[in-house]
Chain A
Amino acid sequence: MRIRRRPTLPDNSRFYYLAYAAATVIYVGYALMLLVRWKRLKSVPARDKE
């Protein structure tokens, strides 16, 4: 009797996790960079007054 097997999926999930993690790090990193630039910009006039 022939047994029909379900096709085995390739185990490449680490690439998929890595891609999602990398995309998240890039977006969050850019948002944080914007925030730091904004805070630095806001702090310049205060320093000038001193």
Chain B
Amino acid sequence: MKPTPLSIAAVFAVVITYIRAIFFTPLEALQGPAQKILYVHAPAAWVAFMAFGLVALVSILYLWLREDRLDRIAEASAEVGVVFTTVVLTTGPLWGRPIWGAYWTWDARLTLTLFLWFIYVAYLVLRGAIEDKDMRARYSAVLGILGALLIPFIHLSVYLFRTLHPRPILMKPSAPSLPGEMLTTLLLAFAAFTLLYVALLRARYRYAVERDNAHPPETYVA
């Protein structure tokens, strides 16, 4: 697998984001340096939601059209989504410890995000456990759709429940509540990590195509 212009652009964009966030973005007055975790934490959460949203979308299309490539896109997006959710669940506690005084609290936002991670890890395990191609695609499509139903609850959990987690500063009906320099860095981070997601998704999809060409999946007739 050779580096593509897309993957090079994604790595370049992430490096630029890191440099801007670390060296050229001011510190927040109350939280200090820990607030800069925002620039890796929030974009990873956005990408995870987008990845699992795509799993649900292509899974619905798969159940309708029964096209193998839709199943492969769902498989690839779920795996990359799990990677981004792992980043969310790692950077979140590292931000929570200095600001809240605890790495973890069982509040709605955090707990539901952990459940989302479990569901899509289970999705990947399920895929590995079923040999029949059609059955695997059908069962995992259903799980992929059901798992994505958690996403709106996670987004709205900070409004529906009393939580320690702050409310959105960007994805809300009113204007973003961040100074210009911080907002620019955050928007750059959203773009860079979205690009990284697209590059990883493409690489993982190409792997799935090559794997199925090299070892065609079995279909059992009952």
How long is the Cα–Cα vector from A26 to B91 in the complex, in angstroms?
11
Asked if residues A22 and B91 are in contact (CB atoms below 8 Å), the reply is yes
Q: A10-B98, A22-B94, A23-B91 are in contact. Are A30 and B200 (CB under 8 A)?
A: yes
Nearest A residue to B37 via CB reads: A19
Most buried by A among B31, B40, B196: B40
Are B37 and A31 within 8 A (Cβ)? no
B200 touches A11 (CB 8 A): no
Decide if B171 is an interface residue (CB 8 Å cutoff): no
| Beta-carbon contact of B34 and A12 below 8 Å | yes
| B207 and A19 within 8 A (CB) | no
Residue pair B196, A27 in contact (C-beta under 8 Å):
yes
Chain B residue with Cβ nearest A25: B90
CB distance from B146 to the nearest CB of A (A): 25
Residue B69 CB within 8 A of the other chain: no
B92 CB to closest chain A CB (Å) equals: 9
| Closest Cβ neighbor of B80 among chain A residues | A30
Contact A16 B33, CB 8 Å, known A9-B27, A30-B200, A41-B211:
yes
The answer to the question of B22 belonging to the interface, with a C-beta cut-off of 8 Å to chain A, is yes
Contact A16 B90 (CB under 8 A): no
A16 to B98, CA, bound (A): 10
A12 to B76, CA, bound (A): 36
Decide: A23 near B32, CB < 8 A? Known: A12-B98, A41-B210. no
A18 to B29, CA, bound (A): 21
Q: Which residues of A contact B1 (CB under 8 A)?
A: 34-35, 38-39
Leading 4 A-B pairs by shortest Cβ distance = A12-B98, A9-B32, A13-B33, A19-B94
Q: A12-B98, A19-B91, A42-B210 are in contact. List 17 more A-B contacts (CB 8 A).
A: A9-B29, A10-B32, A15-B94, A15-B97, A16-B33, A16-B36, A16-B37, A18-B94, A19-B94, A20-B36, A20-B40, A22-B91, A22-B94, A26-B86, A27-B87, A34-B200, A44-B214
